[in-house]
Structure 1
Amino acid sequence: MRRWVPYLYTTPAIVIFLLFFIYPIIYMIYLSFTSWNLISPTKEFVGFENYKSLFQNPEFWTVLSNTVIYTVLTVVISVALSLLCAIWLNRKGWIFRFLQGAIFSPYVISLVSISLLWMWMMDPQYGLLNWVLSLVGLPPSKWLADTGSALYSLVLVNVWKHIGYNTLVFIAGLQSIPKEIYEAALIDRTPWWRKLTRITIPMLSPTLFFLLIINTINSFQVFDNVQIMTQGGPVNSTNMLVYYVYQYGFDFFKIGYASAAGVILLLLVALVTVFHFKFLSKRVHYR
């Protein structure tokens, strides 16, 4: 009987996982092969018609391109800036502790509040950002109202929100590196750039690997910013896969088509995650 006790303790967690994670995925895959408007009591089986329509729709490829560009830019910029901030803030003193708390504060603020704040700052006529640009002699930007800059504006907002979390995780990783290694490098008069590339980054590789995966998955799942700030516009330039699924599912009531797009998103996130573990994990140096 004792050997069943651990399984009894884990049963609630397993049931919740199966009910709220596995079952919705299976049901979404099933719906992707049907035609259903969310109201009709019957679901018509249509096979791969939803996937065929999805891949033949130019709008889907635009949305997929937006999602990939947004994810790559957000992850690369956020992780790189966070690493630089962590190296700078990893010092003793009250001013650095204060700055660590200040840079982390956007992460705990509601995304709705942040989106509304940035919408005001990016206003083409009365926004704070254009006023700052005018002070340095640069031309104003339309930010969210222009197809050429709207997507990059969303990247800016996302980087600003998550850079604090990434920075604190990096600082925790930096503080776990043995100081003796840097002392040996100091004795050998190792240049700072060589210490960064040969000591800091290799020793931070587990932290870097973790943040790359987390930031990539979060970027693929972006929804709130798009819903509040742009609604996928202008001219579909900021539409992302999650918002695309929401549109076709709850605005157009094409549940089968939306489920097919959701399956593609699931496969895309799974492939990227497998890529991280397959290739990047080999470069992780465990202490």
Structure 2
Amino acid sequence: MWHFASFGAPGVLVYLCFVLAPILISFGYSLTNYNPFNPPVKFVGFDNYRLLFTDEQFLTALEVTTILTLVVVIVPNVLGLGVALLLDRKGWLYNALRSVFFTPVILSSVVVSIVWSRLLDDQGPLNTVLRSLGVEHPPGWLSDPDVALYSVASIVCWQMLGFCVVVYLAGLQGVPQELLEAAEIDGAGPLRRFRAVTWPLLAPSLTINTVVLLISAFKTYDYVKVITNGGPGSGATATIAFDVLQTGFDSNHVGYASAMAVLMLVIVAVVTTVVLGFLRRREVDL
């Protein structure tokens, strides 16, 4: 036991200090009205949690986060699978294209946000091109409350696309060629071979991509902070993670922000568990 404990202790200590302890401390703060600039600290029980369900700002952030998560989970999965099918070939050109598609993944999200905010500015290159093509009033990609959220979601999708492509490529390369050849001999066309052979064997890849995208999208903060700062208008792109940081560090309502963070953790844990369980059962059924 001591032998195994000596190997496991460092990892366990890191987990306790940097994961479990902050969660417990945040939960403790969430039961108080803690404000570092407005003592004393009072125990308020679950009042902060009850207030969340009547807080229009939080409910709006929950809606924004849900929409962004749905877009980020669906779009890169669909496009990533399509691109992976096109790149599942041998040759230097396809190897180079794989690198091109994966490059955005390794870039800093802040750098990506700055570049795209310049491209999508009202006077930026994209709208300049649209005006030159005769569009008198091009969309306000980041200034229109009805469009800004989908613009931010598109930027997240663009950066995460390469990750999905790589995971699906790995899954495609694990499909036994014997099964595809047997299906072809039986008269199955390309679509039938994909539906009956390739797609079922890509179930683990779909699980990985969906769970990673779900968690990444639900805790989106940096894109919103850099590109729109929660605007335009009243929280049109403000996610829950953005509201947590704003409430805790700008407004100094640490107790209330902690309640938001704990609730976000619970939502992510529950949704991820449900999705993961469903996708794993699908893998077994297939």
User: TM-score higher than 0.5 here?
Assistant: yes
Aligned to 2:229: 231
Aligned to 2:104: 106
- Structure 1 segments of 4+ aligned residues over 6 angstroms from their partners: none
Q: Name the CA distance, whole Å, in 2 between partners of 1:186 and 1:228.
A: 51
Where do residues 246-261 of structure 1 align in structure 2 (5 Å cutoff)?
Answer: 246-261=245-260
Aligned to 2:77: 79
Aligned to 1:274: 273
Are 2:42 and 1:49 equivalent residues in the alignment? no
8 Å contact from structure 2 (residues 84, 165) kept in 1: yes
Q: Residues 83-113 of structure 1: CA distance to partner in whole angstroms, max 9, x if unpaired?
A: 1100100101111111100111111112111
Q: Name the CA distance, whole Å, in 1 between partners of 2:172 and 2:97.
A: 17
Offset, 1:135: 5.7
8 Å contact from structure 1 (residues 185, 195) kept in 2: yes
Q: Residues 44-81 of structure 1: CA distance to partner in whole angstroms, max 9, x if unpaired?
A: 10112211221111111110000000001111001110
Offset, 1:10: 0.7
- Scaled by the length of structure 1, what TM-score is found? 0.95
Q: Provide the secondary structure at the position in 2 that maps to 1:232.
A: coil
Match of 2:30 among 32, 40, 59: 32
Q: Name the CA distance, whole Å, in 2 between partners of 1:190 and 1:161.
A: 36
Aligned to 1:153: 151
- Scaled by the length of structure 2, what TM-score is found? 0.95
Aligned to 2:186: 188
Aligned to 1:61: 59
The AA in structure 2 aligned to 1:111 is S
The share of aligned pairs that are identical, in percent, is 37
8 Å contact from structure 1 (residues 105, 164) kept in 2: yes
8 Å contact from structure 1 (residues 232, 243) kept in 2: yes
**Aligned in 2, Cα 1:286/1:210: closer, same or farther, shift over 3 Å?**
farther
Aligned to 2:241: 242
Offset, 1:280: 2.1
Q: Provide the secondary structure at the position in 2 that maps to 1:142.
A: coil
Match of 1:95 among 93, 96, 117: 93
**Aligned in 2, Cα 1:146/1:102: closer, same or farther, shift over 3 Å?**
same
Q: Provide the secondary structure at the position in 2 that maps to 1:147.
A: coil
Q: Name the CA distance, whole Å, in 1 between partners of 2:6 and 2:252.
A: 41
Where do residues 162-241 of structure 1 align in structure 2 (5 Å cutoff)?
Answer: 162-235=160-233, 236-241=235-240
Q: Name the CA distance, whole Å, in 2 between partners of 1:272 and 1:133.
A: 40
Where do residues 112-151 of structure 1 align in structure 2 (5 Å cutoff)?
Answer: 112-125=110-123, 127-134=124-131, 140-151=138-149
Q: Name the CA distance, whole Å, in 2 between partners of 1:99 and 1:132.
A: 26
Offset, 1:254: 0.4
Of 171-180 and 183-192, more deviation after overlay is shown by 183-192
Q: Name the CA distance, whole Å, in 1 between partners of 2:126 and 2:196.
A: 39
Q: Provide the secondary structure at the position in 1 that maps to 2:142.
A: helix
Offset, 1:41: 6.2
The AA in structure 2 aligned to 1:232 is G
Offset, 1:279: 1.9
Gaps of 5+ in 2: none
Offset, 1:264: 1.1
8 Å contact from structure 1 (residues 205, 283) kept in 2: yes
Q: Name the CA distance, whole Å, in 1 between partners of 2:21 and 2:107.
A: 32
